[in-house]
A and B are shown apart, each in its own frame.
Chain A
Amino acid sequence: MPREIDPAISQRAFVLSALKDHRLRVDGRGMQEARTPELIFGDEMGWVECRFGKTRVIAQVSGTIVRPRADRPYEGLLNIHSEISPMASSVYDSGRPSEEEVVITRMLEKVLKKSDALDRESLCIVAGQQVWSIRLTLHFLSDEGNMLDCACLAGVAALKHFRRPEVEVIGEEVIIHDPSERAPMPLSMHHTPICVSLAFFEESAHPILDPTRLETQLASSILAISVTNTASPSPTLCVLQLAGGMPLSTEELTSCIGMAVARARVVGAFLERRLADDWSQRSVRVEVH
């Protein structure tokens, strides 16, 4: 594996002293200011590109009909494919996944799959015979920090954007209606998780939101929080992950959660708005025979 080159000593000193003494970040953002996310929807339903500054992730959702697992005959499947190719950054190798990569993919799996964001029982067509298998592929195009949040937003947006063909069951027969025949259906989601990452520095008492690549390299630890039900008055924590680095007191951790919830609310509202925008732009022609 190509080893990552550590940032130069002068660069390190510059970034850290700016943070510590002036509470300034290299790209001019405030400590708790995140980059504005961008969502670009493709022509096809279920194709979404998400950008956080120069970090870019493409998510694509597709569905096929398969036989369910024998122990869960009523449940559809969700598979997440998220290999980080060397395209994102030269530190990633195409062969065996690196530790960083595993942490991102495991976190995505926990946020999107284990938290039951997608209602898997709604994907059942005929119990024990046919269910939908939803495949979410994430392509990491470029890494300028905070790929986890970007990938999570892209993944959630793609799942919410996707439409599957409507299926009708008459007796034993299963009819799959062409999208031109009947309006395809959105996937049923239990909740919409939003990931927020915070970086901590030993030199500075305040965590920063949405770290860039350089800030991630210099940070002593990264706290990843995923929040759901952001529109409701009492949001829910979905996944929280902090390993090592600077130890935190319970009060610090609680204040970080407050910060993450506030940010997730903004991102959640943004996602809903963009999805509604995109939907209103798609003209639907209805032919009556």
Chain B
Amino acid sequence: MNRPELLSSYNYRSDGRRPTEMRSLSLLLSQHPQADGSATVTHGLTEVMVTVFGPRESKNKAGLAHDRAVLSVTLDVPVFSGVPGGRRGRSDKRNMEFTSNIKNTFEPVIQTHLHPRSQIDINIQILQADGSLLQAAVNATTLALIDAGVPMSDYVCATTCALHDSTPLLDLNSLEENDLPNLTVAVLPRSNKVTLVTLETQLAVERFEEMLKMAVEAGKLVHREMLRAVQNRSEKLMRAIESVGGGVGGRPDHRQGEERDVEMYAGNDL
């Protein structure tokens, strides 16, 4: 069988990147008109949209906690996204593992104690899949939570890293992800500590540290991009508020209020 070369003798990867080059990253905030916060994150051909609702009153009273907010994460993998294996139901084990990873990662980062007896819904929609799904989902969830104004102690920035012979590769596409030992790491950039690590298939112990360090460095890069995206979005909001004359805390009249709403959600021209 003719298999594509993952790393050519000239040190180029199958999609023309250098080993430590990441795919083009685009971070869009407030794409969804109804959600309290939303973000679409694209890493090359992988595209994930996350919407956040809440903190709000929970429909499921049994799952409530009296002293903190609880997270409810759902994942939708439509057939058109290109994830192999066809339609996945809600009780699919891979789906449940994925959502449990997201939930466990964000539960300690979100200041849940500020919203007792409430629920935060995180809906993850895979729009297009080309490897590193968990990475894209974590990054999109961070941005969507920030967009929703949910208090968090830090950003969570995820990256993936694989090892080809002895060369570490960053930000994997699906070809690389399927064939190489790979690592997904989520970094908290303020403390420089990792909060999520998953490693699959075999890797020599000595190599692990090198890969982890590289992934943490890449996480900082993603953090810088995220900061820029959030800053752009905030500036745009500020301009929108100022344009209706009220400034912060002012009360715009209704006609202008409608205009402001339109401006707030037209996130496409960022």
Give A residues with C-beta under 8 Å from B.
3, 96-97, 99, 102-103, 105-106, 109-110, 114-116, 191, 220-221, 227-228, 234-250, 253-254, 257, 261
B89-146 contacts to A (CB < 8 Å): 91, 93-94, 96-97, 100-101, 103-108
Closest 5 A/B residue pairs (Cβ): A244-B104, A247-B193, A240-B199, A243-B104, A102-B96
- Least CB distance from A75 to B in Å reads 14
Q: How far is it, in angstroms, between the C-alpha of A250 and the C-alpha of B211 when the chains are bound?
A: 10
**Residue of A with least CB distance to B193:** A247
Partner among A114, A244, A261 whose Cβ is within 8 Å of the Cβ of B108: A244
- Least CB distance from B101 to A in Å reads 5
Cβ-defined contact, B201 with A241, below 8 A: no
**Residue of A with least CB distance to B208:** A237
Give B residues with C-beta under 8 Å from A.
62, 91, 93-94, 96-97, 100-101, 103-108, 183, 188, 191-206, 208-209, 212-213, 216
Cβ-defined contact, A97 with B201, below 8 A: no
- Least CB distance from B132 to A in Å reads 17
**Residue of A with least CB distance to B195:** A247
Q: How far is it, in angstroms, between the C-alpha of A106 and the C-alpha of B97 when the chains are bound?
A: 7
Cβ-defined contact, A250 with B213, below 8 A: yes
Q: How far is it, in angstroms, between the C-alpha of A106 and the C-alpha of B100 when the chains are bound?
A: 12
Cβ-defined contact, A240 with B62, below 8 A: no
What residues of chain A lie closer than 8 Å to B209, measured between beta carbons?
250, 254
Partner among B103, B201, B206, B216 whose Cβ is within 8 Å of the Cβ of A250: B216
Partner among B103, B198, B206, B208 whose Cβ is within 8 Å of the Cβ of A241: B198
**Residue of B with least CB distance to A107:** B97
Partner among B103, B197, B202, B203 whose Cβ is within 8 Å of the Cβ of A253: B197
Cβ-defined contact, A243 with B101, below 8 A: yes
What residues of chain A lie closer than 8 Å to B197, measured between beta carbons?
240-242, 253
Q: Known contacts A96-B91, A245-B104: does B201 contact A240 (CB below 8 Å)?
A: no
Cβ-defined contact, B205 with A235, below 8 A: yes
Q: How far is it, in angstroms, between the C-alpha of A240 and the C-alpha of B211 when the chains are bound?
A: 13
Q: How far is it, in angstroms, between the C-alpha of A114 and the C-alpha of B205 when the chains are bound?
A: 19
Partner among B97, B107, B200 whose Cβ is within 8 Å of the Cβ of A244: B107
Interface contacts (Cβ under 8 Å), in number, total: 108
What residues of chain A lie closer than 8 Å to B199, measured between beta carbons?
237, 239-241
Cβ-defined contact, A249 with B192, below 8 A: yes
Cβ-defined contact, A244 with B195, below 8 A: yes
Q: Known contacts A3-B62, A99-B96, A250-B209: does B201 contact A243 (CB below 8 Å)?
A: no
Q: How far is it, in angstroms, between the C-alpha of A103 and the C-alpha of B198 when the chains are bound?
A: 12
Cβ-defined contact, A237 with B204, below 8 A: yes
Cβ-defined contact, B94 with A242, below 8 A: no
Could you show 15 A-B contacts with beta carbons less than 8 Å apart?
A97-B91, A102-B93, A106-B96, A115-B201, A237-B202, A240-B183, A241-B197, A241-B199, A242-B194, A243-B198, A244-B107, A245-B108, A246-B108, A247-B195, A250-B194
- Least CB distance from A202 to B in Å reads 9
Cβ-defined contact, B94 with A253, below 8 A: no
Cβ-defined contact, A244 with B196, below 8 A: yes
What residues of chain B lie closer than 8 Å to A102, measured between beta carbons?
93, 96-97, 100
- Least CB distance from B204 to A in Å reads 6
Q: How far is it, in angstroms, between the C-alpha of A103 and the C-alpha of B199 when the chains are bound?
A: 14
Partner among B100, B196, B208 whose Cβ is within 8 Å of the Cβ of A242: B196
**Residue of A with least CB distance to B197:** A242
Cβ-defined contact, B194 with A248, below 8 A: yes
Cβ-defined contact, A248 with B200, below 8 A: no
Cβ-defined contact, A234 with B198, below 8 A: no
Partner among A228, A241, A246, A249 whose Cβ is within 8 Å of the Cβ of B202: A228
Q: How far is it, in angstroms, between the C-alpha of A47 and the C-alpha of B262 when the chains are bound?
A: 67
Cβ-defined contact, B108 with A99, below 8 A: no
What residues of chain A lie closer than 8 Å to B204, measured between beta carbons?
234, 236-237
Q: Known contacts A102-B97, A220-B108, A243-B100: does B205 contact A248 (CB below 8 Å)?
A: no
